[in-house]
Structures are given as structure tokens and as C-alpha cells.
Structure 1
Amino acid sequence: MTTRPYVILSAATSVDGYLDDTSSNRLLLSNAADFDRVDQVRAESDAILIGANTMRKDNPRLLVNSDNRRAQRVADGKPAYPLKVTVTATGDLDADLKFWHHGDQKLVFTVDAVLEKVRETLGDLADVVSTGSQLDWGLVLDELGRRGIGQLMVEGGGTIHTQLMAQNLADEIHLAIAPLLVGDADAPKFLGAAAYPGGSTARMKLLEARPIGDVVLLRYAAKERS
């Protein structure tokens, strides 16, 4: 039986739980020291995943930025960069985005209805896999495990974080809380409404709480609830 990867949900939020505001410019929630921490987690991961909406909105390169960390990965017999993964149920992807043109291998999970559309859009930029008529997170994790992915870092967005938490597929949460308030109901949040395992009284195990400059990192074992 294929072993699924250990799934880490990574996000920075405002004190009131928002990932961003509604302006055209990306709201920077983390500080330099926390960005460096995220870079370390990326370097320790075998794959990094973001949703297609996050890719379109933020246009990230999604790389390990440290030369030393990339060199250590290579010394450990790994590619310099983790596998980059995205998911799309609509097939609405842009081949010009930075995601496709930086780093090493890329992988897209999609659905049967738009499989050929995605392949035509991307050509040889990425490997494209369908999970059937619907996006199936269990099959996504099974396929990543089959490809040897031991640790998967998920960097958003909120819809993906919500789906993985609701389906009890996240192993750990890394949440950096910034001393900011957004207060806009239309802004994206880390988690949305869902039927979460255990309900509203199930308390997750706290693994770590530490300040990083003016940001506080909270690490939770997502499946350990009482």
C-alpha cells in the first residue's frame, strides 16, 4: 500500500484570521525572519502545493530561495527544488505564470472534463494527472506518495486548506499570526465554514508556540484532537 505524504498546511494570517486584504497589492503578513523559516520548511519538503486561484492571484515562483539550502538538498541526493504541484477543476491556467518557468518538475491535478484543455495549455511545462470526474484529494495524496513524496507543504489558498482540514487529510498546521487586522468580510480567510472532524469542541494538540519578531508561530498536530 502506498504511503501518503505527511501534509503540512502553511499560512500567515492577520490576528482576525485573514490571508490577505482585498486591495490589488499582496498584503505582506510575515516578516523577514518568518519568510526565512518558510524557506527552511520548503527545503525540508519533497513537494509544495498551491491552488490555481492562488497561482493566478499572487503569481509566485514558489522556490527554495537559499543557495545553501538548495545545495544541501542536492548533497542529500534530492533535486535542488521540491516538486511544485497545483490543482484545478476548471482548467483555467496561464502558461506564462512564473510557477511554470522556475524550479524543476511541476505536476497538475485536474478532472476528466478539462484534462485535454490543461494539457494543451501547458504542453511540456508540467505532468498532468486527472483524478476522475471530481477533484479527489485522497487520490492526489496517493499519487504523490506513489511518486515518493514524503512531505507535502501546502501554501494555500483558503479553499484548499479548508478542504484538507474538513477531510482530515492534514497532519500539521503552521500558522504565523501577524499583528494586523483586516476586518473585510470579502477578504480571503485561512479556513472557511465546513464540517470539521470532531466538531467545534475538539481541541488540537499544540506542538509549538514561539515569537518570530512581531509574528507568532503556532504549530498544531491537526489530527490529534481531544
Structure 2
Amino acid sequence: MNIDHLKDKFDLNELEVSLLEYIKKNQKQLKNITIRQMAKDNFTSTSAIYRLCNKLEFSGYSDMIYHLSSNTHNNAPTQKYENYLPHFIQLLKKHKNSKIVVFGMGFSAPIADYISQRLTLNGFCAMSVLHMEMLDVSFQDSTFLIVISNSGITTRLEEVVKTAKNNHIDIITFTGNEKSKISQYATLPIIIGHYNPFYHDNLVPNAFFGQVLIIFESLLYSFLSSKK
């Protein structure tokens, strides 16, 4: 559990950070710690712990304990992509003459660049640089947006995807978080793995980005084959 990452991601205060440090320290016996015991050990109230649960987007204390006591990391095998294929082909056919913007931040940026180049080599007009003017309503019939984000909850990405949706621009998202706003805004949300912000650790294998490439290549191959 990378507490610094969680602090920034969920805008946690000092008390909430100290609660996470307590949870991390007691992770092995976490299932045996009641909410009252946690509150007592941290000289706080159960209400403060419930507020932390809400901030971390858990349904309650039991839900939080279940997820944070698990040792399962985000290295799920590549999921089947066939369910996304008909809609993916439909969108690429619709936008064969559109300007395709492929956008990602952080580790997603090189993945966006790769997808952009692959699309360009196959006859599309694609770029991995975002100009917000291209998401204006006047471009709704000539712009197509593809977004890559493991968490799907970056404020900048939410703004970009919401703007595109409001202006009736088609969007494909590759994300590990099906509950994220960018997934909800997307024309075609492609869910890869199961994003868990509590395993944001450089020492833990992260299969998301590799799976994005594999699934994108599989979808693109099927699209190109359908044209023959």
C-alpha cells in the first residue's frame, strides 16, 4: 500500500493518513479488528473511520477491511476482448476519416503514443497530443477520442472525457476501474483487470499497460481482418 499515492489521489487529511498507516501496520490481523477497536486505538471516532471509507469509495467498514486485508495484486490474466469487438469495429468504421486523439498521462502516455502510431500506420489520422479545441461541439463529427488510464479517476482526464461526452464526441476508454467517471462517460468503456489503488507500489507487478497493448492489438487485428 503506497500511502503517499493514496493521500494525493483521495486528498486525505492527517488523521486519515494515520488511519491508513495503522491499517498497513496491522494488515495481517485486520479482519479481527472491529471499527470500535480501530477508533479506540487511534483516539478517534467511528464517524471519522466511516468518512475515510467514503473517501476511498468503499461501501462501508466491512468492505474496506475486506479489500485492504487481501494480498491479491493487480496482475490478473488478460481478459477476453470479444465482447468489445462489435462496438469497436463499428466505431473505427464510423471514424475512418476522423481525427483520432489518443490520450494518456503518466505511464499511459507511451501507451497512447504507441496506439496512435499503430493507427496511423493503418491509414487513420491519429495523434497522441490533445488540443482541447478539437473537443469542441463543432468537431463532433470529425473527432474521435481514445483514453488510457488505469485508475480512471485523474481530474484532468475526467474533465477531458466529460467535455468530449457533452459535445457528443465518441470515446473509447481503456481502464481498470469500471466505476470511474471516464468509464461512465465513454461510448465504449473497455475494462481491463481490476484497478486497486491500494496496491500502487513500484515493487508490485502491474499488468494493466501490457494488457492494454495486447487487447488493442487483438481488436485492431480483428477490425483489419473484417475489411478483407
Tell whether the structures are fold-level matches, with TM greater than 0.5: no
- Higher-Rg structure is 2
Higher helix proportion (structure 1 or 2): 2
TM-score, length basis structure 1: 0.30
Q: Which has the higher contact order (CA 8 A, sep 6+)?
A: 1
TM-score, length basis structure 2: 0.29
